[in-house]
Amino acid sequence: MKKNVPLIIGNWKLNPVTLSEAASLASGVVTKLKKETEALVVVAPSFIHLQEVKKKISKSLIELAAQDVYSKNIGAHTGEVSILQLKDLGVSMVIVGHSERRAMGETNKEVCQKVVTILAQKITPVVCVGESERDDQGNFFTFVEEQLRSLSEVLDTTQIKKVVIAYEPIWAIGTGNTATNEDVKEMQLFIETVLTKLYDRNTAKKVKLIYGGSVKAHNAAELYKEGGMSGFLVGGASLKAEEFSEIVKACK
């Protein structure tokens, strides 16, 4: 994954309700970003909307992501969706370990199993890390370090370079409390330092880092310029084609 190409992923979460709304949101994004060639733009609709959204984006450079995946490929796993099924639909990235899934009990170990399963199919995992709150002692750094360490237990240097890490402080997600440019920059440096310890400096520099947490059209340009990350994972603001496209265009 090229580090100098901004990556902006729209995580639609459990939105919208209908297939036609999802199709028209996808078409809106395509129209607004017709001339965008500098950034890699990805949309992550619900599983049930993937196929229709794929049709709408198929003539554009926009790529398709899933919001989660199961760690097994096939078999007796009622209600799950596998990476083979996602691959067949044309998904190129999968978000893993989003805090909203971790809040439902997903562990670091399960996240790691999913990442290995995704990489085996040559698809890019977007692994979310981030603390629920900040403290003056900086314990949140240890928390993020632990999430990264668990990845290093299953991924070698070649594999980690194929992963995107999304730093998403939970307190910033959907709250409007965007992390400051300084907070984001500090975490970018911290993650690179941890990856250098766990792997090596060359490897750490190659892992793409993005930020997520209340990124909006009005704060994207500064966050991108000052925060040191290579792009954004966008929730709420990705549900409006106009605002999402402004965020993409701000990543210059």
N-terminal to C-terminal alpha carbon distance within the chain: 18
168 binds ligand PEP (CB under 6 A): yes
From the list 44-52, 104-112, 118-126, 211-219, the region that binds ligand PEP by CB under 6 A is 211-219
CB of 71 or CB of 99, closer to ligand PEP? 99
Q: Measured between alpha carbons, how far is 181 from 21 in angstroms, rounded to an integer?
A: 34
Q: Is 99 exposed, middle or buried (0-12, 13-18, 19+ CB in 10 A)?
A: buried
Give me the residue label for tokens 């299953």.
154
67 binds ligand PEP (CB under 6 A): no
The minimum distance between CB 88 and ligand PEP, in angstroms, equals 25
Active site residues: 98, 168
Q: Measured between alpha carbons, how far is 126 from 124 in angstroms, rounded to an integer?
A: 6
Taking CB under 6 A as the criterion, the residue among 11, 67, 71, 245 binding ligand PEP is 11
What is the chain's percent helix, strand, coil content, to nearest 5? 45, 15, 40
The one-letter amino acid code at 13 reads K
Residue with nearest beta carbon to ligand PEP: 235
68 binds ligand PEP (CB under 6 A): no
Buried b (16+ CB within 10 A) or exposed e, 61-70: ebbbbbbbbb
Q: Measured between alpha carbons, how far is 151 from 153 in angstroms, rounded to an integer?
A: 5
130 binds ligand PEP (CB under 6 A): no
Taking CB under 6 A as the criterion, the residue among 97, 130, 212, 227 binding ligand PEP is 212
Give the tokens for residue 135.
Answer: 């403290």
Q: Is 224 exposed, middle or buried (0-12, 13-18, 19+ CB in 10 A)?
A: buried
From the list 15-23, 111-119, 144-152, 212-220, the region that binds ligand PEP by CB under 6 A is 212-220
Taking CB under 6 A as the criterion, the residue among 82, 214, 219, 230 binding ligand PEP is 214
Taking CB under 6 A as the criterion, the residue among 174, 200, 201, 242 binding ligand PEP is 174
Taking CB under 6 A as the criterion, the residue among 43, 93, 118, 215 binding ligand PEP is 215
217 binds ligand PEP (CB under 6 A): no
The minimum distance between CB 216 and ligand PEP, in angstroms, equals 8
| Residue 34 φ/ψ, nearest 5 degrees | -50, -40
Interaction site with ligand PEP (CB under 6 A) = 11, 168, 173-174, 212-215, 233-237
